[in-house]
Amino acid sequence: MDRRFSHQLIRDIWHRQGLRGGLGWAALVPLSLGFSFFVRSRNFLYDRQLLPIERPALRVISVGNLTVGGTGKTPTVLWLAQALQQRGYRVGILTRGYKGENGSLTLVGTNGCPRATPAAVGDEAVMLARTFQGVVIAGRDRVAAARFARTHFALDVVIVDDGFQHRRLARDLNLLLISGTQGTGNGWLLPAGPLREPPTAIKRADAVIITKSEGARRGAWPGLQNGIPLFYATLQGTALVTPLQQQWRELPLPSLMGKRVLVLSGIADPTPLYRTVREWEADIAEVMEFPDHHVYTQADWQAILLASQKLDLVVTTEKDLVKLERFPFAAGKLVALRARMEIEDGETLLALVERHLR
């Protein structure tokens, strides 16, 4: 199914747009009710400690969300890991290794040097290992991953990417991300809506970060009436990177100015990518969108080469670059936007984090 068509179908169903959307939503409601019962029952058992919660011998921070789709979890994890590292903490990142073939415990990389492939542990894990000057571990069993981090690397803190629903691992701090554009969606759980658990789960958060906050309504958000600290964040481009002899070379963003480009993405929400490319006055001559976490094939590479034949650059994301760098491109033609999460009043958030860690 074409990516744009499938996304439009999902939007129609979740917003009950037209006959197709209304009928589709009605058909999915029984499944959502069943999923809601499962999620609420599971949370009930954890809240009353009827399901085991395990605490490793180190501090744990979870960064997660309530909805499917891109809320900026991975850039937030990277921002927090780097900030704590600069403050003297021995920090590691734990990730599930989503879409990776190897579900077992895997050391993805250390000190900016990946030791695993996107096929084995997923694109986000390898991107983190390429970017973070520390330890990145993938594995579906986050408790085992946390123990491994403590035993083999003597870490003080691990940050769990997408850990809000992984309740078996005790955590010292829960950071919850909410998209400023999507919010909590239509209020329904999957598949009739985008929620992974009910909005009442916000009460488990120690702080909430509204991402994609440019233009977002400032003020009361559902579930935040209990005085949970609230922060706002935006994703900002900082540089371009291009593969060169198995390393990534950084280039300034003004390198985009005046260039005719193909924008290529396989992420949930490529809007920030388009915005940054336009802000730096590049001419977007072609666009190619693939599904989130897409695994690029030889045929995809040939199609990209053909579409970009008369263009100056192919501009993509770092998450896509870890999968595309194995293909031969002309030197300097394939570049990725390096983006950083910018959090308003970030020092206050870090002070809150450190209080919980102590």
Torsion sign (Cα): 109, 114, 116, 122? positive
H helix intervals, the chain: 3-14, 18-47, 73-86, 118-121, 123-131, 142-153, 271-279, 298-307, 318-324, 346-357
Beta 260-265 vs 283-289: how paired, if at all?
A: parallel
| DSSP symbol at 135 | E
Taking the C-alpha atoms of residue 338 and residue 276, their distance in angstroms, rounded to an integer, is 10
DSSP string, 269-314: --HHHHHHHHHTT-EEEEEEE--TT----HHHHHHHHHHTTTSSEE
Taking alpha carbons only, the member of 320, 338, 128 closest to residue 253 is 338
pLDDT band at 220 (very low <50, low <70, confident <90, very high): low
- Tell me whether the CATH fold assigned to 59-234+342-357 matches the one assigned to 237-340: yes
pLDDT band at 221 (very low <50, low <70, confident <90, very high): low
pTM value is: 0.93
The overall average pLDDT reported for the chain is: 92
Per-residue pLDDT, 1: 43
**Residue with tokens 């940050």, as numbered in its chain:** 159
pLDDT digits (tens, 9 = 90+) for 120-179: 999 999 999 999 999 999 999 999 999 999 999 999 999 999 999 999 999 999 999 999
| Phi and psi at residue 266, to the nearest 5° | -135, 55
CA distance to 34, 261, 327, per residue, from 299 (Å): 40, 20, 11
Taking the C-alpha atoms of residue 296 and residue 273, their distance in angstroms, rounded to an integer, is 19
The structure tokens listed for 80 are 């927090």
Find out whether 265 and 273 touch, Cβ atoms under 8 Å: yes
Q: pLDDT higher for 307 or 15?
A: 307
Taking the C-alpha atoms of residue 127 and residue 130, their distance in angstroms, rounded to an integer, is 5
Taking the C-alpha atoms of residue 283 and residue 311, their distance in angstroms, rounded to an integer, is 10
The radius of gyration computed from the CA coordinates of the chain, to the nearest angstrom, equals 21
Q: Is pLDDT above 60 for 225?
A: no
* Chain centroid, CA 111 distance in Å: 20
**Domain extents in the chain:** 3-47, 59-234+342-357, 237-340
Please state the rounded mean pLDDT for residues 249-253.
96
CA distance to 4, 131, 176, 192, per residue, from 155 (Å): 43, 18, 23, 41
237-340 fold: Rossmann fold (3.40.50)
Please state the rounded mean pLDDT for residues 71-97.
96
The structure tokens listed for 305 are 């080469």
- What torsion do the CA atoms of 123, 125, 131, 132 make, to the nearest 10 degrees? 180
Per-residue pLDDT, 184: 85
| Maximum separation of any 2 CA atoms in the chain, in Å | 62
What contacts 129, CB < 8 A, 6 or more positions away?
108, 109, 110, 112, 113, 114, 115, 116, 136
Q: Is pLDDT above 60 for 222?
A: no
Taking the C-alpha atoms of residue 337 and residue 317, their distance in angstroms, rounded to an integer, is 5
pLDDT digits (tens, 9 = 90+) for 188-202: 999 999 999 999 999
CA distance to 89, 156, 221, per residue, from 212 (Å): 28, 30, 15
The structure tokens listed for 231 are 């922060």
3-state SS, residue 21: helix
The structure tokens listed for 183 are 């919010």
* Architecture of the domain defined by 59-234+342-357: 3-Layer(aba) Sandwich (3.40)
First to last CA, the chain: 50
Q: With pLDDT > 70 as the criterion, what percentage of the chain qualifies? A: 95
pLDDT digits (tens, 9 = 90+) for 288-312: 999 889 999 999 999 999 999 999 9
